[in-house]
Amino acid sequence: MATATTASAVTPPLKSRRAARARTGRDVTVTDPALVKRAVKAAALGNAMEWFDFGVYSYIAVTLGKVFFPSGNPTAQLLSTFGAFAAAFLVRPLGGMVFGPLGDRVGRQKVLAVTMIMMAAGTFAIGLIPSYATIGVGAPLLLLAARLVQGFSTGGEYAGATTFIAEYAPDKKRGFLGSWLEFGTLAGYIGGAGLVTLMTALLSSDDLTSWGWRIPFLIAGPMGIIGLYLRMRLEETPAFAAEVEKAEAARPKVPLREMVTGQWKSLLLCMGLVLVFNVTDYMLLSYMPSYLTSELKYDETHGLLVVLGVMVLMMIVQPFAGALTDRVGRRPVIAAGCAGFLFLSVPALLLIREGSLLAVGLGMGALGLLLVCFTAAMPAALPALFPTRVRYGSLSIGFNVSVSLFGGTTPLVVTALIGATGNMMMPAYYMMAAAVVGGVAVWRMSESAGRPLPGSAPSVEGR
């Protein structure tokens, strides 16, 4: 007999811990608000660490080029630095194929603890690597190795974090609680970029190149310890515990092939949603600063500050937008974002191209608010595409393949399109194309707001 979240077939330690924190029955799971908040914090911190590294690496790329790739050619140095950065995207699908199925077999909490350790270790290790002047070609090889570790662990991080929050959250608050995951993303990026900006202002160029660049990476060590502590204190999600019980105390074993071929419709929907989410995300937060400086000859400092300001605006709106998805549904909010990018990308880019600080701020702000439609809804919408038995694995595969093919390549593809056509409006056209793909995915997906996750019992908030 399989009940929703009873613990008769779960190991005794898990049973005793859950008995104190969640009251469960045949048809409903009653969650402990304190435990849910702790789960959200632990999951969001991992995402913040990932994007802290992203912000640091992006903003300090010129200095890293001098340290690890001293060719004497600034362009070659920068390309080499971003080449090592891009390498992490190549192994993300591999990480997803390893950590995703593992999370469906041994549990979400254990895998998320491992990915936290690997992310922190990879980032911390970069801060310890000797320079090219010290060990020669070994320096860039070690940098590449650290980036591959980061990318591999990231392959299991986002899907695991969204799954963890979604399976803990009450059905009627899943959008609001899931939105804090992307709040962590924005906070991490702002923290990393802001720290580099502050160090650049306070340190001389020589000090930054000789030792200052290491500080942001070394900070990842303490951050990782804190994150690991938070994640180790968490219990397994009720949904996974129930799945273990259904398997009569044996860990669920699902072949990787079943996670793909058995879920191919949901995987296609997932990839379409992730495509519009990540193309617009990387376009705004990663490519637009370079577009402002290289293509529009805009002042670099002002361009970076505008992007940081847009992210602060997004952070303010994020929780409210997440709560909105619980009231009106994920589909209307995501559809509004797709429609907005389809019809407003060109006007927004024309504003940005006007060049004044006010026009750039308005154009970027408009794109940022449209992006919130995705950052607020996706953490709750994506896990609801898959049943509990394969949720972590299938979501990891679909998410990371789409990110690697479309999200991470956005700056490179758009730059190439501008170079080939000479059309400076290519960023807008690219976002419009992504919006069409996302619109088709939204049209085909089912509404999940206020409803139990597939394969899970209804979940309500306790008092």
Q: What residues pair up with 29 in beta bridges, in sequence order?
A: 24, 459
- Give the mean pLDDT of the chain: 83
pLDDT of residue 436: 97
Pair 166, 273 in one domain: no
Please say if the pLDDT value at position 333 is more than 90. yes
Burial class (CB in 10 A: 0-12, 13-18, 19+), 332: middle
- Among residues 254, 280, 306, the one where a domain terminates is 254
For 264, other C-beta atoms within 10 Å of its C-beta total 12
Percent of the chain whose pLDDT exceeds 90: 34
Pair 165, 303 in one domain: no
Pair 296, 243 in one domain: no
320: which 2 tokens? 């409210």
Pair 161, 141 in one domain: yes
463: which 2 tokens? 């008092």
Cα 197 to Cα 20, 206, 278, distances in angstroms: 46, 16, 25
304: which 2 tokens? 């970076």
Q: What residues pair up with 23 in beta bridges, in sequence order?
A: 30
Pair 247, 348 in one domain: no
Express each pLDDT in 157-174 by its tens digit.
888 999 999 998 999 999
The answer to whether residue 459 is domain-embedded is no
| Beta-sheet strand order (sheet of 23-24) | 23-24, 29-31, 459-461
Amino acid letter for position 63? T
Pair 248, 274 in one domain: no
Pair 225, 272 in one domain: no
* pLDDT-based confidence at residue 432 (cuts at 50, 70, 90): very high
Mean pLDDT of 215-244: 84
Q: Shortest CA distance to 388 belongs to which of 452, 462, 329? A: 452
CATH number at residue 144: 1.20.1250.20
Pair 292, 368 in one domain: yes
449: which 2 tokens? 């707001």
Mean pLDDT of 231-243: 83
Express each pLDDT in 60-80 by its tens digit.
777 888 888 876 666 666 667
Pair 112, 173 in one domain: yes
- In the block, residue with structure tokens 């908040």: 37
Please say if the pLDDT value at position 408 is more than 80. no
* pLDDT-based confidence at residue 229 (cuts at 50, 70, 90): confident
* pLDDT-based confidence at residue 419 (cuts at 50, 70, 90): confident
Please say if the pLDDT value at position 16 is more than 60. no
Look up the domain containing 314 and give its range.
264-385+409-446
Pair 247, 187 in one domain: yes
pLDDT of residue 13: 40
Mean pLDDT of 33-53: 84
Pair 231, 83 in one domain: yes
Please say if the pLDDT value at position 94 is more than 80. yes
| Structural domain count, the chain | 2
The answer to whether residue 392 is domain-embedded is no
Cβ contact 397:254 at 8 Å: no
Please say if the pLDDT value at position 24 is more than 70. no
Question: Which is more confidently placed, 75 or 119?
Answer: 119
Cβ contact 56:192 at 8 Å: yes
Phi, psi at residue 461, to the nearest 5°?
-85, 130
pLDDT of residue 255: 64
* pLDDT-based confidence at residue 314 (cuts at 50, 70, 90): very high
Percent of the chain whose pLDDT exceeds 70: 87
* Residue 76 C-alpha from the chain's centroid: 29
- Among residues 200, 231, 254, the one where a domain terminates is 254
- Among residues 186, 221, 254, the one where a domain terminates is 254
400: which 2 tokens? 């990371």
CATH number at residue 374: 1.20.1250
Please say if the pLDDT value at position 91 is more than 80. yes
Pair 161, 236 in one domain: yes
pLDDT of residue 414: 85
The answer to whether residue 451 is domain-embedded is no
Please say if the pLDDT value at position 25 is more than 80. no
* pLDDT-based confidence at residue 320 (cuts at 50, 70, 90): very high
Please say if the pLDDT value at position 247 is more than 80. no
Cα–Cα distance measured from residue 410 to residue 274, given in angstroms and rounded to the nearest whole number: 13
The answer to whether residue 379 is domain-embedded is yes
Mean pLDDT of 407-413: 80
Q: Shortest CA distance to 393 belongs to which of 164, 159, 153, 152? A: 159
